[in-house]
Structure 1
Amino acid sequence: MVSHNGSDYLPRTLAALADQTRPVDSVIGVDTGSRDDSLALLERALGAGNVLSFPHGRSGMGGAVRAGLSARSPWEGQSSRAAEWIWLLHDDAAPAPEALAELLGAVERAPSVTVAGCKQLDWHSGRRLIDVGLSTSRWAERLTMIDADELDQGQYNGRTDTFAVNSAGMLVRRDIWEHLQGFDPALPGTGDDVDFCWRNRLAGHRVVVVPTARMFHVAHRPHAQGNPSAARKAQVHLRLKHAPLWKVPIHAVGALLGSIFKLVLSIAVKDPGHGFSQLVATIAALGRPAAVAKSRRTAASTRRIRRSVIKKLQTPRRDVWNHRRSLMEALGADRSTADGLLHDPLADQPTGDSTDDFAALTTTERGWVGAGALAAIFIAAAASVTALSGLFRAEAVSGGGLIPVSATLGEIWHHASSWWISLGAGLPGKGDPFGYVLWILGVSGGGDANAAMSWLLLLAAPLSGLTAWFAAGGVTTRRRFRFAAALFWAAAPALQVALNQGRAGALVAHIMIPLLVLALLRAAGSAVGHGRFILPAPGERRFTEKPPTHPGVNGTPSWTAAAAAGLALAVVAAAAPSLLIPAVVLIVLCGLMLGRRGRTVWWALLPSVALFLPFGLSVIDRPRALLADPGVPLAFEAAPLWQQILGQPLLFAPGGGLSGLPFFSGGVIPWALVLALLVAVPVLALAVAALFLPGKRSRTARALWVAALVVLVGGWLAGHVATGVLGDALVTPFTGPAVSAAGFALLAAALIGAERLLDAADRSMSSRVRQNVMLRSAVALGMVLLLAGPLAGMAAWSAQNVLRPAAAAQPADGSAGPPLGTPRLVEAGNARTLPATAIDRGTGPEQSRTLLISTKENGTFDAALMRGAGTTLDSLSTIAAARNIMGAPGQETVRDDDDVTASIRSVVATLVAGQGVDPRPLLERLGAGFVVLRSADTAAQITASRMDAVPGLVAVGQTDVGWLWRITPLNQPALQPADVAHRVRIVDPAGATVALVASKYDDVDTTIAEGPEGRLVVLAERPDPGWSAWYDGRKLTATTSGSAQAFTLPASAGQLTIRYDAPWALWAGIAQATVFGLTLMLAIPIPARRPNTGLSRDEGSLRKEHQNA
């Protein structure tokens, strides 16, 4: 008898052993390191001399039996007397009184039988069948072929020979046990009995089941080794062990592919945990080649008959599928019953006058649940329209951190997915993850991303209110509090700063953070229930037997919500990369603290890891780019932590007044501090109260406080890392996203505190009218305070933006410090940043660049080398922004210009000086075909007149963007058909351009004519090992021409192909597509019905699922 933590079952098992009608001759008890009273129970019942302590539980039953036999009854060989038999007993399997006698009678009648087993019945329900002999499928799946809840009516009493029998109550002839070397050590749990009987059959012996020998067995013991993962591992091991040698690789590949298919299927039916465990178990089984080889050698040493003989005893595939379908139908019946009135959580509730049914009908809760959301949306929309007037029907928006987006979805996708950054002369690196967000935005705008961006700014406040209203439903059931949360979030100062400064990333993050928090709460089962799933209040008697459960609420985790959280986190992290590390820390802590209940939240990390892993591989040498905000780098002065806790991302002086409102410019009343406190203090007070109120919800409130502090600290640390350069100033990540994330965590904690306080007030209502009036008045005052701050903040923001001309004429007194708020920098603009002529040549086969020069107020010039239709928001790169920054955080410096940047500075100086120096050699290497001077002041006109005299510049005229010049190519006689420079050209050994080559955005695929020996094909791109070229299928030798990428070109004519390849591009793309495809599949909110769930399960896990149901 082998025991392991079986003290709950041993008394009955030992009593059953003692009651056998045919007593055993001797008993050996083996305890495998139990942590309960199992060892003491065995010693009391069997005697200390007959019990062995064998603290090696992982060796399984086979190891325990071998240890017990070796220590107490060593094998001395087969004697001439009667055969010795071993009866194997589990601590959780009690034999019927006549079990041993029936087994011995069966083997005495048939000497060829060397293994006999019992009929297994349920421990708790003595008539419910577990198995009457075992079988396997052709794929080594362990099968019982017993229907769910099938009762023992003697229908299997005629069964004798079988493929295998259960190890609980297995009777084995001792010589056969020793000859077969017992159970396989590689199968310490599930599958050991099937394998032993399999080898016994191959050795030429019989296995029978004796239905009259009954064993009462615990079907699904808690914390047992026989879980679905162990079953899958055993199944793969058996498949590799007993297959012919030439089929082993086929079975290995088939097992892996089958597990991957099961994973996809399990995700489709909302059961990914099972699919992942099956895949891990398969990999674990395949990762033991030494154990498989040893097992095969042991099996081969005892095999006497062909493997094909055993196939006749295995269950055909059709029978396996019919049996599985029967079990799934039983699960479907469970689901129907669970959905019926018999298990309706409200079905047993009393009704009538005594339960105040009619009083309940008169409450405000009978109104439409979305009324608060609509009210918040209308209020936020009115404030947004007032504050952002002028953006209606705007072709594009620009200003602050915003510039127009590319005109087509294909360009946006190319910039996001490309491994070559198409800015200026280009540089290696993955496109920003935010580019995918812009692509989704363009899809939502019907292909027009610029129009969608305009509408996003206009609708940001209403959308924020809507997402906050939905998320508030995860922490409170009170509609008034959901309305207050929506209004607060729509009026958050971080949102207003992001809107006025054109910070698209912070804006998207603010909108999505509530959905991320809601999804995480539901993934962990920490959201509150609504309707029939509301948990009973303390003292209520309802649901005492079966509390209402639903995925995502009341402690029931949700895989669908976890997948939704993963998608939301990917969007938030792409929009605000500085939030990624704090989010990862919090999710890991959540997964560890919640244990098994938190297993779902780990999925929330997968999409973000898949999204940022390729990007991270390209910034190994400049990791600061991982924290950079998308968009144009924009300098700001971060608020101290105490102001960030008040929800303010930018520094303000308490007496600095309100920006743009002269009447509130400071003085005696510190208007800035008053407004900041009015918005934040009621929420902070309720959030603090939630920490000390009784009940389980206070733990959620504490977790939200921890999340807020972690995010604020993470934002503070990120604020010490420079990620961009604006003029002479270094730019750090914007604090707004961290303030938004911490603010919503505190808002959720405040909602918990408010609900707990209101619940306490409701319970304290008495018959005394005066006390009730006071409580109702306090509640009303609290709601006024909650709503006053957001409404005042919206009014101030709208007024600041509307009155900004007056504010410019009458600036506030700056002596008191920076005011609260920021001026609006975002304006309606033109979607084109370059003249149409330059765009046509920049997007055509020439792929020519445009040098855009802008005049500044101090007489200096800015210059940018633009590609295609001009630099757009999706083409910007945080890698490019951070590439010139060097040094430790807080001690950063900007490195000197490289050759390309120095060339641009030199050519700009030559152009604006207008001294007759020919700039075309430098412009040709840069691939520039046009020059644009953008400005309309007198200084720009003087500069334009000087530039007209520059050799090689042909004035096209003034456009809506600025003055435009076309650059004529050098070596004009040879290039007579061309009137503008190309991105790709062919040069002779002397470096003179002899031909221009048509190209695509990054790649080249064209026919090249004959030419001189020693010629080069030159790209106006920075040199990088990722560039490769082929000429008629032969790879060309890479070289450089000055500071440009070049390749040696044969003199003969041929087909030229050039492209940029990153070593990780293919695998990274496959990984991203796989992770996001599976996440989207899992996130689709369809019911996870038990019959569908069974599609990905084997027989053992189906039976366990049925028992759980």
Structure 2
Amino acid sequence: MPAAVHAVLVARSSPDAAPALERTLAAIRSQRRPVDALTVVVCGPLEPLRDLVSSSGAEGIVEASAATTFAAAVGYALRRVTPGAAVWLLAHDSTPDAGALAALTAALERGPSIAIAAPKLVDERDAERIVSLGQSMTRFGRSVELADGEFDQGQYDGLDDVLGADVRGVLVRGDIAADLAPDPALLGADEGLDMGVRAHLAGRRVALVPRARIAVPPPHRTRMADDYRERLAQLHRRLAYAPAWAVVLHWLSFLPLALWKTVVQLIAKAPAFVPAEWAAAVVAMVRVGAVARSRRRIRRIRSRSWASVEALRVTRADLRERHDPHHAPRVRSELRFFSGGGAWAVLAAGLVSVVAFLALLSWPGVAGGALLPLQRTVSGLWSEAAYGRREVGLHVVSAADPFAGVTALLGSLWPGSPSFALLVLWLLALPLAVLGAWFAATRVTPRAGVRVVMALLWAFAPSFLSALVDPRPASVIAHLLLPWLLFAGAAAHRSWGAAGSASLLLAAVLACAPSLAPALVVVWAIALVLTFVRRPRAIARVVWTVVPAVVLSLPVVLAQVGRGTPWALLADPGRPWAAPAIAAEERWRVALGFPTPDPGGWGAFLTGFGLPASTWWVPLLLAPVVLAALIAPLTRRWRMGTAMVVLAALGLVSAVAVVSLQPAWVQSTPVAVWPGSALSLGWLGLVAAAAIALDVGLARRGLRAAVAVVALVGVCAAAVPALTAVHRGQSELRSGGDTTLPAYVSAQAAIVDDLATLVLSPQADGGLAASLVWGPSETLGGQSTLQSTQPAVSDDDVRVAEMSTDLVSGAAGDIAGRLADEGIAFVLLAADGEDAHPARALRLAATTAIDQRGGLVRVGETPRGVLWSVDAERSPRAPLSADDQATARAIALAQLIAVAVALLLAVPTPISHRAARRKPRVIGAGFEEAR
């Protein structure tokens, strides 16, 4: 005689539950093999469902709280089940076919060893699509659906014995139903899988019954909550299934495993899993009682070894075959860097660079302008990038500028002589600019010729050439990074890999050019709004792009805001250099694209040939690029065209705005923010918009070629004075070494740590500038905008000024002792080539006064000035306090974590590479961007 069937129906009380429950109850009543009893468990208020369950013919109605899990609800109902009756587990939205129960009971009758008969779950909206048909798990306990989301073509109907199944709709044999009740500790995840594992350990089987079909709603995932439940269930099952001796080992491994999984998930471009991973690890470790109860359940029923389970696990080969992505459609075309002319453009730019900077091939290094040497060791480079003592000033302890990290990375590329990396950078600047712009052009056009045109236009940008000729290393690096930022940032909404790369590039660009922060924040805010409207699932990627930049700059931001100088955050990093300023009434001319008073150097160029220095016509050479850019918003790719024009406008407006700011000081001269970096941003928008216009705005091939040639000729003509400036002696770039101090000081500083040199520089107005340099040289990474922009004279500055004044004025007192007490070992009276009479007079008077001082031994004349040694016992430099050390560790840890996460996200993987191939390379050119 067939066993009785007791159906347990778990209903969730909600506004939309009544229609689903009504369909399920109707389906239960229409079964060809009717149920013998029905128990309904209502989780939540009973009132909305009272009429339905009262008329259902249920033998009992159990009311539970809304937070009750499916397993707990089944546990309540099992108390009412007649012993020996098979239990059919259903949810209120599970609608069985008329023959489902008959097929399930027939399977139990034919197979006495079967403990659980599992139906085929199909999508209620499309009955031909499988939602679930059997479950298994990997060696480490990860649950795997054997059939999920596929069209039902009978391909899995031959499956019989499986490890487990989705708990909805399963029929459990009566004699074992109480022992196989779902485990409440799993919180609704992997309940059917766990039931199947226990059934196999009891010597029974789980059989699939594909003829029994139950319609269920398609899975609706809440990413964070579902990830947490699934991971918690996996960790809980790991503790419940482990041998007794291994439980503690597993428990101890959860936190290290969470750290390892964090790294893996970041590399896999899935950072959304990280919070769930840590939450699940912590909760699994504290639920000792739940683990003990689950282990008792297994001990009570177990009669077989774990070998009965191992045979049904999914292997790595099975997973690889199941998730094979090789047959996914490929959308992305070949890059064609070589065949499309990109490599030839880079080579041509390299030849131009060698010709323009031929003298650099014989120089040991570069100097002049805002250039300074780098630290001599890699460890010294990175120490400058950390919070701590600065290498200029008396007792300055502060946060490092983010630019120090950029210079440390640059110098680390040539560890034997880090300063030589600057010379290499200058020689490779033009080809590197072409390379970066060519890749950026792949985001706006598929045409090889247009890509080359955009790359050359970018390399010969007036602001870039000006930064090379009158050397400004921060602006040069920013110009080289901007096209890569466009390349990665334009696709940041597509993938975590692009978002990670864009975040690092944005941090580096803002470190080199803080004046770009307002414009780039506006761009980021616009991207955030558009992403929220069009692709809200990608919002986290766009948000992440600013996180590393915020973390790296936050110490300096807090320091500047705390002392009331927020505008100083826009000051150029590195060495403050007071270049020839643009007159107030002429600052509007910056918007024409040239960052110096003499546009493109044409005034000096024409004067050198004895021609009138009239330069009003020079900006007209850039007009073809501007006109082509204005066409871009009128093309069919108006979205991207408009975005690039907006970017150009933001750059030009920023350039005009920042040129009026003078937040920094060098000696007694105010230093304005250089507008060249903002002009580079504007030029990037212009050349990208022009590339779009050439791609889709000009239909006729001949017209497109003509416009491209005219634009290139104009920009190259504007670049002639800058490219010949080094040969004509019109450049601030000159040969340099690895130190700004005399060789004797440099040699002593290499032997003895923390030697300080007091540098005295007579000024043209008869004043005296004093600065303090620690170590063998003043360095580029050792500069600090917190010092160059400080609004008031500090106590340390007062002491340095007093010592310097007493030193050169002949005042009485033990000046040498005071110098030694501050750690100063040398005094240098700089020879800076100042020809003004007051400066010469002061230098002679100072030389005489210092020579007559006791305790100061004249070392001699050097190319950098007159040098004296302090003949007194020097006090050691004060170490960092405990609070400063703690602050340094906290800042370093936060910054390392932010950079490490960004690097892990940016590292490409085979999966991310294949995913990228399924999307077009050009942004905004297809349906993928329009939806």
Query: Shorter-chain-normalised TM-score: which range?
Result: 0.7 to 0.9
Q: 1:419 aligns with which of 388, 392, 411?
A: 388
1:782 counterpart residue number: 707
Contact 1:98 1:213 in 2 (8 A): no
2:888 counterpart residue number: 1065
- Structure 1 pair 475–24 and aligned structure 2 pair: CA distance change class (3 A): same
1:362 counterpart residue number: none
Q: 1:874 aligns with which of 781, 785, 791?
A: 781
Aligned residues: 875
The alpha-carbon deviation at position 169 of structure 1 amounts to 1.0
What is the letter of the counterpart of residue 569 of structure 1?
L
Contact 2:127 2:215 in 1 (8 A): no
Q: Deviations over 1:965-988 (max 9, x none)?
A: 22221xxxxxxxxxxx4342xxxx
What is the letter of the counterpart of residue 100 of structure 2?
A
1:518 counterpart residue number: 487
1:769 counterpart residue number: none
2:606 counterpart residue number: 661
The alpha-carbon deviation at position 787 of structure 1 amounts to 1.5
- Structure 1 pair 311–761 and aligned structure 2 pair: CA distance change class (3 A): farther
2:675 counterpart residue number: 735
- Structure 1 pair 509–638 and aligned structure 2 pair: CA distance change class (3 A): farther
- Structure 1 pair 255–172 and aligned structure 2 pair: CA distance change class (3 A): same
Tell me which moved more, 396-405 or 75-84: 75-84
1:223 counterpart residue number: 220
Q: Deviations over 1:899-955 (max 9, x none)?
A: x32222122222222456541232122222222222276533453233211222222
The alpha-carbon deviation at position 140 of structure 1 amounts to 5.4
Contact 1:167 1:193 in 2 (8 A): yes
Q: Deviations over 1:477-528 (max 9, x none)?
A: 223322221222122122133223321101100011111111223444xxxx
1:100 counterpart residue number: 101
Which whole-Å CA distance do the structure 2 matches of 1:285 and 1:213 have between them?
34
| 1:296 maps to 2:290 | yes
Which whole-Å CA distance do the structure 1 matches of 2:776 and 2:375 have between them?
8
- Structure 1 pair 131–926 and aligned structure 2 pair: CA distance change class (3 A): same
- Structure 1 pair 646–602 and aligned structure 2 pair: CA distance change class (3 A): same
Matches within 5 A, 1:184-203: 184=184, 187-188=187-188, 190-194=189-193
State percent identity of aligned pairs: 28
Matches within 5 A, 1:840-851: 840-845=747-752, 847-851=754-758
What is the letter of the counterpart of residue 910 of structure 2?
P
Which whole-Å CA distance do the structure 2 matches of 1:491 and 1:97 have between them?
76
Q: Deviations over 1:231-256 (max 9, x none)?
A: 22433455678999999886565334
Which whole-Å CA distance do the structure 1 matches of 2:57 and 2:221 have between them?
22
2:911 counterpart residue number: 1088
Tell me which moved more, 216-225 or 853-862: 216-225
| 1:632 maps to 2:575 | yes
1:933 counterpart residue number: 829
Contact 1:83 1:174 in 2 (8 A): yes
Q: Deviations over 1:508-555 (max 9, x none)?
A: 00011111111223444xxxxxxxxxxxxxxxxxxxxxxxxxxxxxxx
- Structure 1 pair 1070–320 and aligned structure 2 pair: CA distance change class (3 A): farther
- Structure 1 pair 643–967 and aligned structure 2 pair: CA distance change class (3 A): same
- Higher helix share goes to which structure? 2
Matches within 5 A, 1:143-182: 143=144, 157=160, 159=161, 165-171=165-171
Matches within 5 A, 1:344-383: 369-371=339-341, 374-375=344-345, 378=348, 382=352
Contact 1:638 1:649 in 2 (8 A): no
1:794 counterpart residue number: 719
Tell me the secondary structure at the aligned position of residue 734 of structure 1.
coil
Contact 2:117 2:209 in 1 (8 A): no
Q: 2:515 aligns with which of 564, 578, 601?
A: 578
TM-score (structure 2 length as normaliser): 0.78
Q: 2:315 aligns with which of 312, 318, 323?
A: 323
Extract unaligned runs of 5+ from structure 1: 34-39, 348-364, 525-556, 763-775, 805-822, 886-894, 970-980, 985-1018, 1029-1059, 1094-1109
The alpha-carbon deviation at position 122 of structure 1 amounts to 6.0
Matches within 5 A, 1:945-1094: 945-969=848-872, 981-984=873-876, 1019=877, 1021=878, 1026-1027=880-881, 1062-1077=885-900, 1079-1080=902-903, 1083-1085=906-908, 1087-1088=910-911
Q: Deviations over 1:101-132 (max 9, x none)?
A: 2445677899999x844243666797989544
Which whole-Å CA distance do the structure 2 matches of 1:128 and 1:222 have between them?
11
Q: Deviations over 1:315-361 (max 9, x none)?
A: 789657752332214444x52x55xxxx67799xxxxxxxxxxxxxx
- Structure 1 pair 79–633 and aligned structure 2 pair: CA distance change class (3 A): closer
Which whole-Å CA distance do the structure 1 matches of 2:342 and 2:157 have between them?
64
2:688 counterpart residue number: 748
Q: 1:88 aligns with which of 83, 87, 90?
A: 90
Which whole-Å CA distance do the structure 2 matches of 1:122 and 1:851 have between them?
82
What is the letter of the counterpart of residue 31 of structure 2?
Q
Which whole-Å CA distance do the structure 1 matches of 2:611 and 2:41 have between them?
84
2:452 counterpart residue number: 483
TM-score (structure 1 length as normaliser): 0.66
Matches within 5 A, 1:228-239: 230-236=229-235
- Structure 1 pair 395–314 and aligned structure 2 pair: CA distance change class (3 A): same
| 1:922 maps to 2:891 | no
| 1:838 maps to 2:775 | no
Which whole-Å CA distance do the structure 2 matches of 1:254 and 1:626 have between them?
45
- Structure 1 pair 706–170 and aligned structure 2 pair: CA distance change class (3 A): farther
Q: 2:272 aligns with which of 259, 269, 277?
A: 277
Which whole-Å CA distance do the structure 2 matches of 1:50 and 1:651 have between them?
89
Contact 2:346 2:432 in 1 (8 A): no
2:925 counterpart residue number: none
Extract unaligned runs of 5+ from structure 2: 1-8, 917-931
What is the letter of the counterpart of residue 575 of structure 1?
C
- Structure 1 pair 326–107 and aligned structure 2 pair: CA distance change class (3 A): closer
The alpha-carbon deviation at position 370 of structure 1 amounts to 4.9
Contact 1:129 1:151 in 2 (8 A): no
Which whole-Å CA distance do the structure 2 matches of 1:720 and 1:829 have between them?
32
Contact 2:498 2:906 in 1 (8 A): yes
The alpha-carbon deviation at position 152 of structure 1 amounts to 6.2
Which whole-Å CA distance do the structure 1 matches of 2:526 and 2:397 have between them?
35
Contact 1:418 1:431 in 2 (8 A): yes
1:22 counterpart residue number: 33
Which whole-Å CA distance do the structure 1 matches of 2:829 and 2:23 have between them?
95
1:608 counterpart residue number: 549
Which whole-Å CA distance do the structure 1 matches of 2:594 and 2:136 have between them?
68
- Structure 1 pair 463–317 and aligned structure 2 pair: CA distance change class (3 A): farther
- Structure 1 pair 596–196 and aligned structure 2 pair: CA distance change class (3 A): same
- Structure 1 pair 581–518 and aligned structure 2 pair: CA distance change class (3 A): same
What is the letter of the counterpart of residue 794 of structure 1?
A
Tell me the secondary structure at the aligned position of residue 758 of structure 2.
strand
1:569 counterpart residue number: 506
| Aligned-pair Cα RMSD in Å | 5.4
Which whole-Å CA distance do the structure 2 matches of 1:964 and 1:148 have between them?
80
